[in-house]
Amino acid sequence: MKNLLKFFFNQKKEFDMSKFLVVGLGNPESGYSGTRHNVGFDIVNQLCESKNVVLSEDRYGFTGKFKYAGKSIHILKPNTYMNLSGNPVKYWLKKLKIESSNLIVIVDDLNLDFGKSRIRPSGKDGGHNGLKSIIEKINTDNFIRLRFGIGNDFNAGEQTDHVLGKWSTVEQNQLGNLIASSAEMVLHIVKHGIENTMNKYN
């Protein structure tokens, strides 16, 4: 029994619960910049700007870090394509010794109206290829996701054009404040926890 308790204690010590990994999903090429599918990048960029963090190129993407509310926040913008997002997430979780429950993934969501945000502590991929890749690679869906609504106002057969398209003028006029609010949600999760944040923002 003593050895068993020691084993579980050492397993817990393997992860540093004072660390978070915040991942914004998107596609790396410049042609995708400013598209609906890259809003995860935009929210991470806003978060970094608010904390004077400059991202630098690293293994599997661009990374940075800052301290907030006594926690270490590690930022990742993968430079793989969306469908391969699981590889960089798996690598950095392992390298930084961060538990999956302290992973926050920011994604676009067709099933939410434009500008609506939803926070969940876990769940399926919901048809999002980036989330699907992450779940497959880290072998769990037990991680936080912040979903930013991009709406589904498109005709049959036009989903790809909508997702990879630029924001409309009306959307663009509102986007800055919405992205800033989403960045604040990430900080609220770190400081106050997932349940408190869901109660406040969902």
Cα angle 26, 65, 97; round to 5: 90
Q: Is 37 one of the annotated active-site residues of the chain?
A: yes
Given the residues 37, 74, 128, 188, the one annotated as active site? 37
- Determine the Cα–Cα distance for residues 42 and 36; give it in Å rounded to an integer: 10
Residue 23: phi, psi to the nearest 5? -120, 120
CB 77 within 8 A of CB 61: yes
How far, in Å, CA of 134 to CA of 120, rounded? 15
Shortest CA distance to 39 belongs to which of 104, 111, 115?
115
Long-range contacts, stretch 28-35, CB < 8 angstroms, 24+ apart = 28/61, 28/78, 28/79, 28/80, 28/81, 32/164, 34/166, 34/167, 35/163, 35/164, 35/165, 35/166, 35/167
Helix (H, G, I), strand (E, B) or coil at 56: strand
Q: Whose structure tokens read 């989330």?
A: 131
What is the identity of the amino acid at 140?
T
- Which amino acids are annotated catalytic? 37
